[in-house]
Amino acid sequence: MAAFVEIQGFFQIRRQHLPLAGGARLRQVAVRASNSAAAVAPAPVVVSDGAASERTVVRLGLPSKGRMAEETLNLLKNCQLTVRQVNPRQYVADIPQLSNLEVWFQRPKDIVRKLHAGDLDLGIVGLDTFSEYGQENEDLIIVHNELKYGDCRLSIAIPMYGIFENINSLQDLAQMPHWTEERPLRVATGFTCLGPRFMKEKGMKHVSFSTADGALEAAPAMGISDAILDLVSSGTTLRENNLKEIDGGVVLESQAVLVASKKSLIQRSGVLDITHEILERLEAHLRAAVQFTVTANMRGSNAEQVAEKIHSQPSLAGLQGPTISPVYCKRDGKVSIDYYAIIICVPQKALYKSVQQLRSIGGSGVLVSPLTYIFEEETPRWRNLLSELGL
């Protein structure tokens, strides 16, 4: 049991959300890089930490390592918010497009803790981490709930062999006669808040949790636990360790989310504006990333007639409707309009169906290009955020 710490009375587990709060601290803060060549490599200096409310710069926490680190930087880059990091071991960086913003690289769970402590204002983490370390926390708020990467699920898994061979659902597991008060079902997990809560909700009796960081899939084979509760994506790690998921055993579906401290949004100058800009850029990029722009030529006697043909096809409606422009052809020295160029946006998934529908109504010369951004008049998430903040 060397790597595991038994948690007593699991329904009483309460995580310390505030390991950093309070007390004067000394902290390393790097001087922010300016555009001048001399300042390219900021020298770390030690400064004393002032009270959180005195801070005027806005802070965004990003995963410092692991699965989400690279994709988070890629997402921001795709939103024209490239993070400028002087070297990979330096934990502070900036985004030249956003003045008055510091980026701090932290472990995902520490991002959530530091949001609560007021040391960060915004952060990007997996929903699993946010839920585990921040769910009971009324100050924390999800600003964007689907950043479309880091997809995984928090799921219960049991061995494929032995007494579990014919156990395929949470109900089967609960009904096994093996679990008693003296000998409960032992579950190894890093999610000691979500796990017990889930089991309680499902009415599972006689369960105990032990905690471990990483390589949890080894625990059943080592005899340390009967089951595990861990993140699953492709399922390869489970399979390679002779484990299986069970029906009804998914605790949470997760992906990357943008989160914030409500207190910061409301009280700290500049946080709301920066959040609005980041949110708008994220939404514009994520909306565009699943669409194509399609242009085609269509024969027709006037624009309205062409529009009607397009609207008759279910996959060609576009975002608001087609843009239709006359194509001026010169034939025998005379200019005439026999064709119209149409522009529509189509979901990437529906591209081929859309091309077929365009052809069926006389479309030709179909050109397809990627879309970079779609800015709507106002993002629904922004409106929701303001209303949740009571603004």
Ligand X SMILES: O=P(O)(O)OC[C@H]1O[C@H](OP(=O)(O)OP(=O)(O)O)[C@H](O)[C@@H]1O
Ligand Y SMILES: Nc1ncnc2c1ncn2[C@@H]1O[C@H](COP(=O)(O)OP(=O)(O)OP(=O)(O)O)[C@@H](O)[C@H]1O
**Residue type, position 211, single letter:** T
| Pick 215 or 367: Cβ nearer ligand X | 215
Can you tell me which of 103, 143, 152, 207 binds ligand Y, judged by CB under 6 A? 152
How far, in Å, CA of 365 to CA of 348, rounded?
Answer: 18
Which of 293, 294, 296, 290 minimizes the C-alpha distance to 347?
A: 290
| Pick 231 or 294: Cβ nearer ligand Y | 231
| Interface ranges with ligand X (CB under 6 A) | 67, 214-215, 217, 230-237
Q: CB of 154: closest distance to ligand Y in angstroms?
A: 9
**Residue type, position 106, single letter:** Q
User: What separation in angstroms does the CA of 336 have from each of 301, 302, 327, 389?
Assistant: 11, 12, 8, 58
| Pick 255 or 313: Cβ nearer ligand X | 255
Which of 197, 215, 194, 151 minimizes the C-alpha distance to 4?
A: 215
Which residues lie closer than 8 Å to 271 by C-beta, 6 or more apart? 58, 121, 122, 260, 264, 265
Chain-centre distance of CA 64, in angstroms?
Answer: 15
Can you tell me which of 19, 44, 66, 88 binds ligand Y, judged by CB under 6 A? 66
Q: CB of 152: closest distance to ligand X in angstroms?
A: 7
How far, in Å, CA of 282 to CA of 74, rounded?
Answer: 12
Query: Interface residues for ligand Y in 89-128 (CB under 6 A)?
Result: 107-108, 126, 128
Partner whose binding site includes residue 129, from ligand Y, ligand X, none (CB under 5 to 8 Å by kind): ligand Y
* One character per residue 248-277, x = contact with ligand Y (rule: CB under 6 A): ------x-----------------------
Partner whose binding site includes residue 162, from ligand X, ligand Y, none (CB under 5 to 8 Å by kind): none
| Pick 191 or 292: Cβ nearer ligand Y | 191
358 touches ligand Y by CB under 6 A: no
Which of 56, 124, 106 minimizes the C-alpha distance to 264?
A: 56
231 touches ligand Y by CB under 6 A: yes
Partner whose binding site includes residue 19, from ligand X, ligand Y, none (CB under 5 to 8 Å by kind): none
| Pick 129 or 261: Cβ nearer ligand X | 129
Give strand pairing partners of 48. 26
Q: CB of 237: closest distance to ligand Y in angstroms?
A: 7
How far, in Å, CA of 322 to CA of 311, rounded?
Answer: 8
Stretch of residues binding ligand Y (CB under 6 A), selected from 149-157, 309-317, 333-341, 375-383: 149-157
Q: CB of 149: closest distance to ligand X in angstroms?
A: 14
Q: What secondary structure, in 3-state letters, does 218-283 show? A: HCCCCCCCCEEEEEECCCHHHHHCCEEEEEEEEEEEECEEEEEEHHHHHHCCCHHHHHHHHHHHHH
Can you tell me which of 15, 32, 55, 67 binds ligand Y, judged by CB under 6 A? 67
Partner whose binding site includes residue 254, from ligand Y, ligand X, none (CB under 5 to 8 Å by kind): ligand Y
Partner whose binding site includes residue 338, from ligand Y, ligand X, none (CB under 5 to 8 Å by kind): none
Counting every residue, how long is the chain? 391
How far, in Å, CA of 57 to CA of 54, rounded?
Answer: 9
Torsion angle, alpha carbons of 104, 113, 130, 79, to 10: -20
Q: CB of 242: closest distance to ligand X in angstroms?
A: 13
Considering just the CA atoms, what is the radius of gyration of the chain in Å? Answer: 27
Partner whose binding site includes residue 230, from ligand Y, ligand X, none (CB under 5 to 8 Å by kind): ligand X
Partner whose binding site includes residue 346, from ligand Y, ligand X, none (CB under 5 to 8 Å by kind): none
Partner whose binding site includes residue 235, from ligand X, ligand Y, none (CB under 5 to 8 Å by kind): ligand X
Tokens 């269509």 -> residue: 298
Crossing angle (nearest 10°) for helices 108-117 and 127-134: 50
How far, in Å, CA of 226 to CA of 127, rounded?
Answer: 26
Q: CB of 192: closest distance to ligand X in angstroms?
A: 15
Residue 365's Cβ-count burial label (10 Å; 0-12, 13-18, 19+) is exposed
Stretch of residues binding ligand Y (CB under 6 A), selected from 7-15, 133-141, 146-154, 199-207: 146-154
Which spans of this chain sit near ligand Y (rule: CB under 6 A)? 66-68, 107-108, 126, 128-129, 150-152, 213, 231, 233, 254
